[in-house]
């Protein structure tokens, strides 16, 4: 895979993509049932395999997009998606037992790194276009 930018951009992209891939790996482990993240309080059935695989695939897609695109719009979209996922985790905490757990917080920390990386890339792209 060829990185599309040089210098500082590459380090930011690699950091964000790496964090996204690690988060994706944890999601896959959740999906395969190798990591327990608790249960739902609503009595509804939860398909953790589907959830884990969808989130893992999404994490991989975000990592690839971060590495391959120099578009400011893509960086903004990545940031928006990560923000939605992070906020969503805490918004639905009341329907989980436990509401917050170590693996979920670990993933959110990794997603915060992806979010910060995407914001940094968007800001750098903005500065580059205003010069």
Please count the other Cβ atoms lying within 10 Å of the Cβ belonging to residue 18: 17
61: Cα within 13 Å, side-chain hemisphere: 11
Segment holding 41, helix H or strand E: none
Under DSSP, is residue 107 helix (H, G, I), strand (E, B) or coil? helix
Contact 126, 72 (CB under 8 A): yes
Full pLDDT tens readout for the chain, 131 residues = 445 556 789 999 999 999 999 999 999 999 999 999 888 877 666 788 999 999 999 999 999 999 999 999 999 999 999 999 999 999 998 888 899 999 999 999 999 999 999 999 999 877 666 65
Cα 103–chain centre separation: 14
| CA-atom Rg of the chain in angstroms | 16
The DSSP secondary structure of 2-30, one letter per residue, reads --S--THHHHHHHHHHHHHHHHHHHHHHH
Alpha-helix runs per DSSP H in 72-101: 72-91
**For residue 118, which of 54, 72, 61 has the smallest C-alpha distance?**
72
Indicate the domain borders of the chain: 10-35+45-126
Contact 100, 37 (CB under 8 A): no
pTM flag (> 0.85)? yes
């Amino acid at each position: 895979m060829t990185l599309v930018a040089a210098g500082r951009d590459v380090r930011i992209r690699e950091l964000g993509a790496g964090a996204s891939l690690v988060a994706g790996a944890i999601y896959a482990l959740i999906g395969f049932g190798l990591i327990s993240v608790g249960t739902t309080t609503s009595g509804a059935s939860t398909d953790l395999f589907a959830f884990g695989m969808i989130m893992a695939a999404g994490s991989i897609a975000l990592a690839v997009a971060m590495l391959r695109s120099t578009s400011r719009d893509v960086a903004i979209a990545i940031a928006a998606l990560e923000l939605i996922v992070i906020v969503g985790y805490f918004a639905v905490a009341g329907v989980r037992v436990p509401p917050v757990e170590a693996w979920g917080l670990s993933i959110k920390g990794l997603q915060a790194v992806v979010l910060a990386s995407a914001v940094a890339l968007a800001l750098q792209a903005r500065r580059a276009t205003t010069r």
